[in-house]
Structure 1
Amino acid sequence: MKKTVPIVVAAFVVVLSSPAWADETDPPASDVTISGGATLVSDYRFRGISQTDKNFAVQGTFTVSHSSGFYASVWGSSVSDYIASNSQEIDLVGGYKHSFGATTVDVGATYYYYPGSALPFSDFIEPYVAVSHTLGPVTGKVSLLYAPKQQALSVNGVTKDDNLYLAADLSAGIPDTPISLSAHVGHNFSPSYITFGNKYTDWSIGATYTWKNLSLGVSYVDTDKDMIVGTRNETKAGVVGTLGVAF
């Protein structure tokens, strides 16, 4: 009996200190990730065209993604009246993303919603596919976006038009710094309401400084198109600044 008691006590101590005991109390990892943020921009440019008459815009986003690769997000921004005769744009996005080593394929669709628009047809849907590849600090991406024929894309307000957009993006983080660089070029192949009736090319270069969950960016945006609204050329070259916070 004198030998049995110490052995039982020792066994009890070993069980309590076992890693398996601690693992049982740890909560399981979630398959769902929630992220979002808010951004203040000096000019909201959509494929090179100002959506805010060269004025500031407030934007916000919220995304829910699953470990399987499926995701859904909501993005919103203030816009000017000549875009959809209202003061806001809401993008509803759903898609699937999967990586094959350093290559990622992303497919989905965006529904552009303009609540309260005075136009009879404003909302439209645009499916997309994007392929990106990362090599060290550099990531390249090619995107193809096609909006099928819809009333909202009509230039004359009567027929249904479609829109095809092809873009290439390059981004790179400068090693050991909080600075990243980006470059973009895109081309609209269709004369639709998105392009305000003309095929054209847009391009931009930019830099972003990140500190914790804050980011400060500046970019130069230009196109080979002229679109005059009032006294302003909404496609003229310009510098766009951004201040964002992410969570």
Structure 2
Amino acid sequence: MNFAYPAIAAALLAMPLAAHAQSTAEDKVAADTAPPPAITVTGSVAIASDYRFRGVSQSDQEMAVQGGITIAHDSGFYIGTWASNLGGWGTFGGANMELDLIGGYKAKLADNATLDAGLTWYVYPGGADKTDFAEPYVKLTGTTGPATLTAGAAYAPKQQALGRWYRTGADAAAGVYTNPGAKDDNLYLWGDGALAIAGTPLTAKAHVGHSWGQDGLGPNATAVSPTGSYWDWSLGADATWHNLTLNLSYVGTDISNRDAAYLRPSFSKGQDGAGNIAGGTILASLTAAF
């Protein structure tokens, strides 16, 4: 019996299957070794029990909904935006919203060190005149094992949004500018630390910062550094599951009721002249990244 023809036929049938298997393997290798895309888009949405900016509540100690998006190029340049609702002290007005427009450049100094420099433009859509301001920043981040450390500086040059337009909170409540058009600058230095806890979804986090700026209230009866000079800090932890992060932190400042007395009623919950919106509190937030 001649087995040549069946053998040849079987070989011919096997050739496409072998070619397909080889092609699939090659495609997988190519996918694994393909360079990352030149442009990446990342973002997040969050809900927080309070919006604290450098230790001071910007949402009248009420919940805040926040979100942002960043577009980054593999050259290191990036642009982004971030937004949150506002409420409480001063007169944010308009949409009662903060909209941050961000642009910068990240440079890799080493495998475990990155330098990031850019500018944030703080915008309050439809709010009081002269409240928007620009603030350049620079920060250095390094990692060692499970620990990440960041040191940063943000300096906003003289602008009307940072000037002392009201001497006191009483002047602001009466709607009487005591020094309209005043300009001032602001310096903020900070340090952050994060430590991933091995074998758990937890990351311990700490922050400390110091502000130097105007000593009083700006054109919207708020201020980046309301008492001129103060410390803020936080201590807490992240718990991460897939793209969700739950954070619990204790946040506080060294602004006492006595320090803030001359800023009231603006600098208080509900502008009632009582509660300290820079007092220590526990904050909770839930963030979804995409």
TM-score computed with the length of structure 2 as normaliser: 0.76
* Deviation larger for 23-32 or 138-147: 23-32
C-alpha deviation, 1:19, in angstroms: 5.2
For 1:83 and 1:22, the matched residues in 2 are separated by 62
Per-residue deviation at 1:53?
Answer: 1.0
Which of residues 170, 176, 197 in structure 2 aligns to 1:174? 197
Unaligned 5+ segments in structure 1 are 1-5
Q: 1:52 to 1:21 in 2, by over 3 A?
A: closer
Residue aligning to 1:36? 43
Matches within 5 A, 1:21-60: 22-23=26-27, 29-60=36-67
Counterpart position of 1:104: 114
- Closer/same/farther in 2, CA of residues 197 and 68 from structure 1, 3 Å limit: same
Q: Aligned AA for 1:110? A: T
Match of 1:3 in 2: none
- TM-aligned CA distance change 1:242 to 1:16, over 3 Å: closer
Summarize the alignment of residues 66-215 of structure 1 with structure 2, pairs less than 5 Å apart. 66-81=73-88, 82=90, 84-86=92-94, 87-99=96-108, 100-117=110-127, 119-156=128-165, 157-191=180-214, 193-215=223-245
- Between the aligned partners of 2:80 and 2:104, the Cα distance in structure 1 is 9
Q: Which ranges of structure 2 fall in alignment gaps of 5 or more residues?
A: 1-7, 166-179, 216-222, 261-266
Report % sequence identity.
Answer: 40
Structure 2 letter corresponding to 1:129: V
Most deviating of 27-36 and 46-55: 27-36
Q: Pick the structure with more strand per residue.
A: 1
SS where residue 152 of structure 1 aligns? Answer: helix
RMSD (Å), alpha carbons: 2.7
Structure 1 residues 122 and 173: alpha-carbon distance in aligned structure 2, compared to 1, 3 A threshold: same
Query: Is structure 2 residue 288 aligned with structure 1 residue 245?
Result: yes
In 2, the alpha carbon distance for the partners of 1:203 and 1:160 equals 27
Give distance in 2, aligned partners of 1:31 and 1:234.
43
What is the one-letter code of the residue matched to 1:92? L
Give the ranges of 4+ consecutive aligned residues of structure 1 lying more than 3 Å apart after TM superposition. Answer: 12-29
Structure 1 residues 83 and 131: CA distance shift in structure 2, 3 A? farther
Partner AA of 2:137 in structure 1: Y
Give the CA deviation at 1:191: 2.3
| Residues 160-199 of structure 1 deviation map (CA, whole Å, 9 limit, x = unaligned) | 1100000011111101110011101000122263112421
SS at match of 1:107: strand
* Deviations, residues 28-65 of structure 1 (Å, cap 9, x unaligned): 74211111111110010000000011111000111111
Supply the distance in 1 between the matched residues of 2:239 and 2:65 (Cα, whole angstroms).
19
- Aligned with 1:189: secondary structure? strand
Contact 1:155 1:196 (C-alpha < 8 Å) held by counterparts: no
Question: Aligned in 2, Cα 1:107/1:21: closer, same or farther, shift over 3 Å?
Answer: same
**Structure possessing the higher radius of gyration over alpha carbons:** 2
Superimposed CA distance per residue, residues 125-151 of structure 1 (whole angstroms, 9 cap, x where no aligned partner): 000000011000001110000001111
Residue 171 of structure 1: SS of its match in structure 2?
A: strand
Cα distance change of structure 1 residues 213 and 122 upon mapping to structure 2, 3 Å threshold: same
SS at match of 2:214: coil
Contact 1:155–1:197, Cα closer than 8 Å, also in 2: no
TM-score (norm 1): 0.89
Q: Look up the match of 2:5.
A: none
| Equivalent residues of 1:53, 1:232 under 8 A apart | no
CA contact (8 A) 2:107 2:116 kept: yes
Q: Distance in 2 between matches of 1:56 and 1:168?
A: 26
How many pairs were matched up?
244
